[in-house]
Amino acid sequence: MTRKQKKMLYRILAASVLFVVSLLLPVTGPAQLAVFLIPYLVIGWDVLWKAVRNIMNGQVFDENFLMCVATVGALIIGEYPEAVAVMLFYQVGELFQNVAVSRSRQSISALMDIRPDYANMERDGQLVQVDPEEVAVGGTIVIKAGERVPLDGTVLEGVSALDTAALTGESLPRDVAPGDEVISGCVNLSGLLHVRVSKPFGQSTVARILDLVENSSEKKAQAEHFITKFARYYTPIVVFAALALAVIPSLLDGRWGTWVPRALNFLVVSCPCALVISIPLSFFGGIGGASRQGILVKGSNYLEALAQAGIVVFDKTGTLTQGKFSVTAVHPEEGMAGSELLKLAALAEQFSTHPISRSIVDAWGGTLQQDRVTSVEEIAGHGVRAVIDGRQILAGNWKLMDRENIPITSDHDHLGTVIHVAVEGRYAGHLVIADQPKETSAQAVAGLKAAGVRQTVMLTGDAERTAQAVADGLKLDKYYAQLLPADKVERVEELLAEKSPKEKLVFVGDGINDAPVLSRADIGVAMGALGSDAAIEAADIVLMDDDLLKLTAAVRIARKTLSIVRQNVVFALGVKLLVLILSAAGLANMWAAVFADVGVSVLAILNASRMLNVK
C-alpha cells in the first residue's frame, strides 16, 4: 500500500472505533449529534471538501456531491448512525478501489523497469556512466554482466546470453556474439559486451515500447466511453429524481418524515462508482496481463475489438512460416553420396548472398574452403558455374540444366525450390529448399478456433501448390496464393465486406512489409516485432516475439476482459435498479442502500481485479 492509502486505512480504523463508542454512549438530543459528528468528520471531511471545491469549479453532480447530500440529509433528519455508516463504508469502498487501481497500474508500470538508467562508455581507459540519451549513434558502449542493455546496437566484442523476458515474456535466454543485433531493455546475463550504438535513445526499442504503454490508456474502449457519458447524464437525473421523490409526495400527503429518508436512500444507491471504476480497471488489467506475456496492446479500444475477432488473416512468410529457407531434402543420383552433393553445392554457392545460397551453405555446416574454387560465374536467373578441385560444377534451376543440355534424370515432385547439381556435364542430383511452418503455427490456428474465431485465412505470394500444402497442413479455412502486395489489400477488402457487422477482422503480419494491410484491417497485429520500428508503428497490437501462440493468448485475454466488463455492467445496474425501486417504495432502508453502493462497488472491483492475475 502507498503512504496515502495507509493514512486512509488509519482514518477508517479511527473512525470505526469512534463510531462504536458513539453507539455505546447513552446520550440523546443535541449531545448525540455532537458525538456522532466526531467520527463523521474524521472519515468524511475530505469528501465534504471535494464536493464544495467541485461545486465552486462548476462540477456539481459527482459521487462526492451524492454522498454529502445523502449523509448531511440523514444527520438533519436524526439518522445519525446511518449517516456515519454511509460515509464510513463509502470510504472503505474508495480505499479498496485505490488499492485495486494501484495494482493494475503496477502490472503495467512493471514494464517501466526496462528503462535503462545509464550507459557505460570507455573514457581514458575507465568506464564512465552516462545518460543513455547522451550517447550518439556510432558510439561504443560497454555492457557488464547483470546490466540492462541501454541502447539498440551491434555486438563488436564479447559473447553472452540476453534475458528478453521483460520484452517477450519468454524465459529462454538468447545467445549473442560479434555481429549480432542487441536491443535495449534486455538484461546481459553473463559475458562483457562491447556494442556499437545504431539508434539514438529516443528511437530505441525500449523508448518506443515505453511510449506505447504510457499512452495506451488514452485510447478508450466503447464501453468506457459509454460509461463516461452514462455517468454524466445519469447522476443529475437521479439527483432530480430523488428531489422529486422527497418533495412531491410530501406536498400531497404531508409525510416529510417518510419521503425524505426514502429520497436519501435513493441518492446513496444511485452513485455510479461501481461502473465508473470497475470497467476501466478491467481493461487496464487486461492490458497489463497481456504486457507481462510480451503482448503490447496500444489501447482499450483494440483489446475490446480483439474480443470480437471473427476472421483472422495471416501473412504466410515470417508469420505462419519461419521466413527463412532451409534444405528439406537431398536427392543424389546413383554413385553420388548425399553429403558430397550438398558439399559441392555449398562450395559453389559460398560466394553468393542470395537466401537460397546461404541456406545451402548453412545446411552443409562445414568450413568454407575458397581456395578449392578456382573460378565462379553467376548466371542471372539460372544459377552458378564453378570450378572446384579442377571439376566444373553447375548448381541452379532446371533452366540452367536445359541451357547446358544436361538431362535431369530424376526430379521428384517437390514443394519448394529445387536446386539441380551437375558435375563435369553429368547430372548429380538435386536439393529441395523450402520455408517451413513454425512449430507452433498449427497449434495457434487450432487455439484460435477453440477461442471462437470463425474463419482463418492465409495470404501469400507463393505458388498455388505451395500455398495449398501450407494451408492444408495448418488446417486453415481459406488461402489466396500468387498475390502481389496490392492484391493483399484487395483480398482483405473482400473479407471485410463479407464479415458480419459484429465481427472484427484481424490481420497478422511481420509489420515490415505489411503496413498497408495492417492499417486496413480492423485490428493489425505485428508479430516477431522485437526491435522492429515499423512493426511497433504500424500495428494496433504487437507480439514481441515469433510465437504465434501469443495471438491465441491475446484473444483469450480480450474475451475474458470483455466478459468481466459485461458481468459488472449487468450486476451493478441490476442491483441498483432493484434497490432504487425498493427505496422509492419504502421497502429498503439506508443499510440496503449502502450495500447497493459500496457493496456492489467492492464486488465489481474484485471481479475486475481477476484480470490482474491473468495467466
Which of 58-67's residues contact partners 24+ apart within 8 Å by CB, and which partners?
Answer: 60/236, 61/235, 61/236, 61/239, 62/235, 63/235, 63/271, 63/272, 63/273, 63/276, 65/239, 66/235, 66/238, 66/239, 66/267, 66/268, 66/270, 66/271, 67/268, 67/271
Q: Which of 433, 425, 426, 427 is nearest to 357 (CA)?
A: 433
Look up residue 104 and give its three cell numbers.
493494475
- Give me the catalytic one of 152, 315, 514, 546: 315
Q: Which of 148, 110, 444 is nearest to 290 (CA)?
A: 110
Integer Cα distance of 172 and 165 in angstroms = 8
Amino acid residing at 572: A
315 catalytic? Reply is yes
Look up residue 243 and give its three cell numbers.
428531489
Integer Cα distance of 132 and 117 in angstroms = 7
Backbone angles phi, psi at 228, to 5 degrees: -60, -50
Residue that the C-alpha cell 406536498 belongs to = 251
Q: How do strand 373-379 and strand 426-437 relate by DSSP bridges?
A: unpaired
Residues with Cβ within 8 Å of 171's Cβ and at least 6 positions away in sequence, in order, are 165
Q: Which of 424, 167, 136 is nearest to 292 (CA)?
A: 167
Q: Which of 312, 314, 322, 311 is nearest to 488 (CA)?
A: 314
| Residues annotated as part of the active site | 315
